[in-house]
Amino acid sequence: MILKQTACLFLCVYTTPLLASEAEDLFALSFEDLLDVHVDIASKTLETLASAPSTITVFNRQKIASLGVNNAFELMNFVPGMQSARGDWVGAVPKDHARGVYLDSGNILVMINGERLNESSFGKASVYIPYIPIEIIDKVEFIRGPGSALYGSNAFLGVMNIVTKSQNNEMSLAVGNVGQTGAAFSVSHQVNQQTHLFANGAYNQKSGKRYPQGVNDPLQSVYFEAGVDINKLALRARYNQVELNEFLNLGGYSDSNQHRSENTFLSVGYDWLETDTRTLATKIAYAHHQIQSAGLIAPAVALPNASYDFFIGPDWHTTDLTVSVEASQQFNNGWSINSGLQYSHAEQHKADLRVNYFDINSGEIIVEDPFYQGGIVTISNYAPFQSLQSTFETRSIYGQIKVPFAEQLTLFLGARYDDVKAIDSKLSPRISAIYSPTRAHTFKLQYGESFRTPVTNELYSDDDVTKGNPNLKSEYVKTTELVWRYEGQDWHINSVLFYNQLVDFINLVPNSAANNQFTFENQLDDINRGVELDSMIHITSDLSVEATYSEYFDTPIKPTFKRFASVIANYHHQQWVLSLNSVWRDAVSGPTMTSDFTQPAYFLLGGAVSWQFSARSEISFKAHNLLDKHYRVYDPRVTDGAVAGVGSEYSLHYQIKF
């Protein structure tokens, strides 16, 4: 089958370039372009990496294509201070590690085009949107460190903003091992001077690798978005659906595990005022998230009165309605002010149960043969879940001022106040002083505070495993950073020393009121310090090397990677681009339900080879875990603490621009 698909792909390669029109060179990217890339995620003002009042990492389309990754979350492995690994609990979705914290509770805010994906039931973007295809992405920006001064809850230890394509006309096809197939398109059309249309779509699927536990890790993903700009009016719509069945869910491996998420997003924005010195804009955005999941709790052989495996999971729906107003003012002396108001209404309006053993009369789960449902079914209005159906109302106001004291010194001052009705309120200040004594050297001293509001699962859960705590308050962090950046003629280096004071972290603890049950407490206060380094050098005009290194000086709250690094080498010669990369992670050890877990340090190799026929079309080969390294990721909720890492995946891609 793969041979037939590859033959069809090569047929497209040699016939469709004749139909394509001229387009920009996909491989053209100078060293100066990388240094002067503009970002606005850090301040909502147009800044470079050197002048931004935060520590920023940016991936453009060319760099993403060279890494051989398929999912946007995988980019975290090349960001200093961040990692993304596979875990358990809900559908084996990506789990984020940031600056020594691995609590899997939504400590990184993930956004698409500035719109948050983290929602109110689990708090993690990756539960509801675990797969974001890179084919539709134009750029990904990361804030490393606090971002609540602009973005509120969840912008705790980092922010990830995915900017999708809006000016492209292209399509791509892909085939690979483990049953991989994919197709994507981006279209853009300028109807007239006032009207612009665009759309992106992607389909990805794979049957997955076979693991010793007797399961595969399949994927099926559909993504579509469209936008219309008419003068000052902007309309946006987005839909995605992901299925991650089999593999691992709720700590159990089974080919009957299920995980399906579906998300819809709509927004209307209007620019009331837009001049060289003033802006005023409003936006109304609505998002609907739903998840249907079920994981193996116990196999039949371990059940005394049942003949079939026992599965359970959520069927939950949440919505988010956000109304925002943003304004900016620039003055002749270089000062600028940004401010905004926001109202958010988040609601979990469905909290049903998916299970295969249930007593309809008593409304209880009874794992015995008379109560077997013939398979996994949905139980509506399951009594212990009804308290999860709650509402979060948040009113926010933020302001920021940029003060250029001199040509070499700029000061950013800002704060945001979030009031979450009946739960908590937080003030998130931020200050950044940026000093550039020469064009080559930049020094930053930054301080910020960020928070994460507890979610419904932590506040109101009531089942056989966890009991919510409605008295929880927000966890927050105070971060100080000292940054030095050097930009030479052919190379740059960026170093960050950070100091985190972690306060009121929410932890899962034994419930003293019930046996074999856990609850949540604001229990953890800790200090986390570390260093993050990244550098890039152009050895020749064709060859460049990038590297990152992160090390934490203190033991992480939960066992996670304490040291890790990455290297990316790119060689560009005429129509060819060759990229090799390696991710290194230090050893991890921790307690499990049965014994201690240890994963020795390991390397993962990957890369991509691309051949550009013309400015209009290219073919590329991508590889992840090229040597098929067998490694395990630590997760204490699995019996032996071990989650199998992703095996070798490689694929052939063809792209045409028109």
Considering only residues 365 and 507, tell me which one the structure prediction assigns the higher pLDDT. Answer: 365
What pLDDT, in 10s, does the model give residues 611-638? 998 889 999 999 999 999 999 988 877 8
* Whole-Å CA distances, 488 to 238, 414, 538, 539: 42, 31, 10, 13
Mean pLDDT computed over every residue of the chain: 90
pLDDT of residue 122: 87
Helix (H, G, I), strand (E, B) or coil at 510: strand
CA pair distance 99, 93, nearest whole angstrom = 20
pLDDT of residue 639: 81
What is the C-alpha radius of gyration for the chain, rounded to an integer number of angstroms? 25
pLDDT score of 9 more than 60 = no
What pLDDT, in 10s, does the model give residues 517-540? 788 999 888 999 999 999 999 999
- The DSSP secondary-structure symbol of 455 reads -
What pLDDT, in 10s, does the model give residues 369-381? 999 999 999 999 9
The mean pLDDT value for 103-132 works out to 89
* Whole-Å CA distances, 341 to 233, 264, 319, 356, 493: 19, 24, 20, 46, 37
pLDDT band (50, 70, 90) for residue 20? very low
Tokens matching residue 337: 């002010």
Contacts of 288 (CB under 8 A, 6+ apart): 263, 264, 265, 317, 318, 319
Kindly report the CA angle at 232 between 226 and 233, in degrees rounded to 5?
40
pLDDT band (50, 70, 90) for residue 33? very low
Count of other CB atoms within 10 angstroms of residue 602: 15
CA pair distance 149, 400, nearest whole angstrom = 9
Q: By the 8 A CB rule, do 474 and 153 touch?
A: yes
Best CA proximity match to 204, nearest among 226, 227, 179: 179
pLDDT of residue 251: 81
- With pLDDT > 70 as the criterion, what percentage of the chain qualifies? 92
Tokens matching residue 87: 């875990």
The mean pLDDT value for 77-95 works out to 85
Tell me the DSSP string of 609-635.
EEEEEETTEEEEEEEESTT----EEE-
Residue 194: CA count within 13 A, CB half-sphere:
4
Alpha helices in 491-640 (DSSP H): none
What is the signed CA dihedral for 75, 76, 77, 79, rounded to 10 degrees? 100
What is the signed CA dihedral for 242, 246, 247, 250, rounded to 10 degrees? 90
β-bridge pairing 372-379 and 491-510: unpaired
pLDDT score of 2 more than 50 = no
Buried b (16+ CB within 10 A) or exposed e, 429-460: bbebbbebeeeeebebebebbbbbbbbbbbbb
Cα separation of the two ends of the chain: 29
User: Containing H/E element for 469?
Assistant: none
* Whole-Å CA distances, 70 to 145, 221, 617: 25, 12, 19
Which class for 541: exposed (0-12), middle (13-18), buried (19 or more C-beta within 10 A)? exposed
CA pair distance 542, 28, nearest whole angstrom = 11
Residue 202: CA count within 13 A, CB half-sphere:
26
Judged by average pLDDT, the poorest of 11-20, 182-191, 203-212, 581-590 is: 11-20
What pLDDT, in 10s, does the model give residues 418-449? 999 989 999 999 999 999 999 999 999 999 99
pLDDT band (50, 70, 90) for residue 88? low
The size of the chain, in residues, is: 658
pLDDT score of 391 more than 90 = yes
Q: Indicate the pTM of the whole model.
A: 0.92
pLDDT score of 278 more than 70 = yes
Helix (H, G, I), strand (E, B) or coil at 290: strand
Best CA proximity match to 353, nearest among 376, 319, 373, 332: 376
* Amino acid letter, residue 48: T
What pLDDT, in 10s, does the model give residues 458-516? 999 887 678 899 999 999 999 999 999 999 989 999 999 999 999 998 888 887 766 66
Q: By the 8 A CB rule, do 283 and 311 touch?
A: no
pLDDT of residue 516: 60
Best CA proximity match to 131, nearest among 210, 64, 194, 219: 219
Residue 229: CA count within 13 A, CB half-sphere:
15
β-bridge pairing 543-552 and 252-253: unpaired
Judged by average pLDDT, the poorest of 294-308, 318-332, 351-365, 629-643 is: 629-643
CA pair distance 229, 195, nearest whole angstrom = 6
- With pLDDT > 90 as the criterion, what percentage of the chain qualifies? 73
pLDDT of residue 577: 93
pLDDT score of 201 more than 70 = yes
CATH class entry, domain 2-657: mainly beta
- The DSSP secondary-structure symbol of 557 reads S
Q: By the 8 A CB rule, do 435 and 408 touch?
A: yes
Kindly report the CA angle at 206 between 178 and 58, in degrees rounded to 5?
105
Contacts of 639 (CB under 8 A, 6+ apart): 251, 592, 593, 594
Q: By the 8 A CB rule, do 643 and 633 touch?
A: yes
